[in-house]
Amino acid sequence: MFETFEFINEDFPWFFATLAAVFGALTGSFLNVCIYRIPAGRSIIFPGSTCACGRPIPFYHNIPIFTWLILRGKASCCGAPFSIRYPAIELLTSMLFLWVWMIYPPVVAMLGMLFVAFLICATFIDLDHMIIPDRFSIGGMVMGVLLSFIFPALHGIEGLPIVSHIQSGVTAIVGALVGAGLVYWIAVLGEIIFRKPAMGEGDVKFVGFIGAFCGWQGAVFAMFGGALVGSVVLLPCLLLARLFGGSDPTEERTAPKAQDRAEAESAEGEESEDEEIEVQFGAQVPFGPMLAVAALIYFLGFDAYVDAYFAEFASYFFMP
């Protein structure tokens, strides 16, 4: 069977690449459900999606990306609008899954897709609710360590079976501890200096999850790379806010109008308006998305440069 896979992948590389992209779009559709339902404490399996008018949404109107385009962002039964964020997340997941498949061996690519899916879910939940659920941070950290013991290729480790598995697992554990520990002490120092919480506990656990999949180098890069990403994103937002006046671009964050949200509002009699979460600019800014972007940069090809830099840096201190 593996020989058949290698034959198809060698002679028709586009075949599995296309499957990876399609699988990414389908996964993105499922992630949309998770992003809304998990913070609400609802099941991600049941019930199925229904429109705001109460009618079930047929499967042929749940085709990722294309359904939104064909229906022009509106429900076919009642014309209720659906946020563009739904197809955007599906397209983003599809592109990232394809990218992972193109740069990694199949086994590592499949593990990488899981890593990417966790990052996407945590990112948008943090944007909407200023929280990172433990299932993505602590759960992802534990999963990263276990998968590292089972698949040493995740950390690029080869050699004798037992030795390589142990070495890979230890690499994941060290990555999780270094990542979580680094962010924890930065948060403690920040609280002492600024006399207020500088970083949430969710960020501490989230970097531990990144370290379990990417090693301590990836965790360190996510921390400082995330800070750089935050500076690049937040400073232009502040500048634009002051130039054009009015409220800051980050003052309000609202969950998108989604199929599942419409369903919940119809079934539970909630208000039709989206819940608003106010974020004071410079006081409460979700750091999880910035960590996730930096982790993606590392995992999607920049790891070679980062690891080489740390290796060269260490050589100055540990080489005679």
The SS3 of residue 276 is strand
Q: Is the pLDDT of residue 275 over 90?
A: no
At 274 the pLDDT is: 39
What pLDDT, in 10s, does the model give residues 166-198?
A: 999 999 999 999 999 998 888 888 778 877 766
The SS3 of residue 144 is helix
Q: List the structure tokens of 276.
A: 């608003």
Q: How many CB atoms lie within 10 A of CB 302?
A: 15
Per the prediction, the chain carries an average pLDDT of 82
At 259 the pLDDT is: 45
Q: Is the pLDDT of residue 247 over 50?
A: no
pTM of the model: 0.82
Q: Is the pLDDT of residue 76 over 90?
A: no
Phi, psi for residue 254 in degrees, rounded to 5: -120, 145
At 124 the pLDDT is: 95
At 267 the pLDDT is: 38
In angstroms, the CA 189 to CA 185 distance is 6
What pLDDT, in 10s, does the model give residues 126-154?
A: 999 999 999 999 999 999 999 999 999 99
Q: Give domain limits for the chain.
A: 133-250+285-320
Distance of CA 117 to the CA centre of its chain: 6
Distance of CA 64 to the CA centre of its chain: 18
What pLDDT, in 10s, does the model give residues 295-304?
A: 999 999 999 9
Residue percentage of the chain with pLDDT more than 90: 49
